[in-house]
Structure 1
């Protein structure tokens, strides 16, 4: 695999950060939460985070959400399943998700 393809593959693994009240509280403990590709494993997620953000990862925990039923008016549907990765960085590293922090 060429370097450009490898970098694009790593970028495709990390979809976007999940920002909720609970995940922003975890930022104090140096734990970041990202939605990732469902097919990726912990080793690929760790490599992607380390290369994209130039940090050292201590631990990666993953979970796959169950589809939830959502009602809009009289229509019922299901929310898609997604894979969430909780990434704990080593103490001296930070990821700047917000511009003011």
Structure 2
């Protein structure tokens, strides 16, 4: 057999030429391969840790001081609504002077109190106390009360006798309010 002619690299021969198509492409590793490598590394690290520290390490256990087991309190997250469930908020909780003093009494006995004892008579909220009634009357009618007496009537309403300071005249204030 005759000897074969050697091809010079870089020249136009079939083999050895550096053409773009002839280079072998290296494919990037697939996801499966990557996860396998990561798992293998993690396993190797666990084995290394086991060799260094040992597998029978002591763990601190919580000391229980009571024989009865009580479950831990379950966390209940406070509500944080995106929008109000009611269109308007309640205003009943506002306990101001307009809610405390309902209306003045205009009965004959109330008129007698106004004339003789310098005392105004009001129907007030049942939950109001004497201090609140005093403040409410002061805010509404700009008068100072010497003292306030209260009673609950048989129909369930609370009646307040507001005795005025001697500087004020109950008749004038009753006229200003519109009782008389």
For the superposition of Structure 1 and Structure 2, which TM-score range results when normalised by the shorter chain?
0.7 to 0.9
Give unpaired runs (5+ residues) of structure 1. Answer: 1-6, 68-80
- Measured in 2, the distance between the counterparts of 1:49 and 1:98 equals 15
Matched length = 81
TM-score normalised over the length of structure 1: 0.72
2-side partners of 1:16 and 1:58: how far apart?
20
Matched, 1:90 2:178: no
Q: 1:66 aligns with which of 143, 154, 160?
A: 154
1 CA distance for matches of 2:134 and 2:119? Answer: 13
TM-score computed with the length of structure 2 as normaliser: 0.42
User: Does the alignment pair 1:41 with 2:121?
Assistant: no
2:143 to 32, 55, 60: 55
Query: What are the ranges of 5 or more consecutive residues in structure 2 without an aligned counterpart?
Result: 1-93
The structure in which a higher percent of residues are strand is 1
SS of 1:33's equivalent in the other structure is: strand
Distance in 1 (alpha carbons) for counterparts of 2:159 and 2:105: 8
1:28-83 Cα offsets, whole Å, 9 max, x none, are 1210100000000000000000111101100100000123xxxxxxxxxxxxx100
Question: What corresponds to 1:26 in structure 2?
Answer: 113
Quote the RMSD (CA, aligned, Å): 2.0
Instruction: Spell out structure 1 runs of 4+ moving beyond 3 A.
Output: none
How far does residue 97 in structure 1 lie from its aligned partner after superposition? 3.2
SS at match of 1:26: helix
Q: What is the match of residue 9 of structure 1?
A: 96
